Amino acid sequence: MAVLAPQIDIFILYLATERGLSDAYQLSVRRTLETLADWAREQKFATWQDLGIDSLREFLAQLKKKGLEASSLRIAVVHIKIFFRFLAGRSLIEDDPAEPLLSPRTGSHLPETLHESQIVRLLESIDPSRALGRRDLAILELFYSSGLRLAEICSARLETLDLEDGFLRVTGKGNKTRIVPVGGRARSALESYLANERPKLVRRHTSSEIFLSVRGGPLGPDRVRKIVKERAHQAGIKQNIYPHLLRHSFATHLLQNGADLRVIQELLGHADIATTQIYTHVDDQLLRKVHRQFHPRA
């Protein structure tokens, strides 16, 4: 692995310094690439340039044969694709052999989503005139409007919100900052909450987090999860509802309505588009379902 290792080190340094990705993500990538390097050495490959698409597919097939689950294989594919894209971009290899590499389908492990009608039912079931109704409606509208992660909702602060232009600055994984749009319904819900309900929750110790508890402190992840579940239960939705499901629904509905995958990648804050491609698989399932249902010879 000695001949192959320096490029791995250079790439990990790039992830840390230029991309700002977490130590955990760097470690995960390193494990994948070192496993690939060990395999390449066994196959008598001297440099990364020697590996082609067939070699990479053979490596992934071996991982699958050893029992690696499809979800873990997908992660390995993402790591390999971004590594070889980096090498080609820095002219450390002539061509990117991983570019045509496809992620394995994960079958039943594809992300769950809500139908658009369920989203409407969930949001319209919340009465803003009831206690904490404005706050909870604003939380759920923002989840679905902007595709935020749970941690991003909890850490959102007043100074990062621009309601006039409809944008929110969030800090996601790896301390990576991005700007996300806030849709019209979410803007209205936030304006109502900030004007009529948040001031009543403020205490002397309150900081600038947007969403507050009844004690004036920032809402924690566990409390937000509970709010989402409680509101779904009140709406009569029997499906297991959790915050990330709203993020999945956000991305899937954008794709189904014609949004470009690169735009969705940017909105979600994914480091690599291969991660975002999971939603194309969800959409493929919908296409097959519609085909089976309506085609006369399906």
Catalytic residues: 149, 173, 244, 247, 270, 279
Question: Left if phi > 0, otherwise alpha if psi is -120 to 50, otherwise beta: which for 107?
Answer: left
Instruction: From 124, 142, 128, 121, select the one nearest 243 (Cα to Cα).
Output: 142
Q: Residue 134 to residues 129, 189, 257: CA-CA distances in angstroms?
A: 7, 7, 28
Distance CA 100, CA 94 (A): 15
For residue 13, how far is the Cα from the chain centroid? 23
Residue type, 196: N
Residue 82: Cβ-neighbour burial (10 angstroms; 0-12, 13-18, 19+) = buried
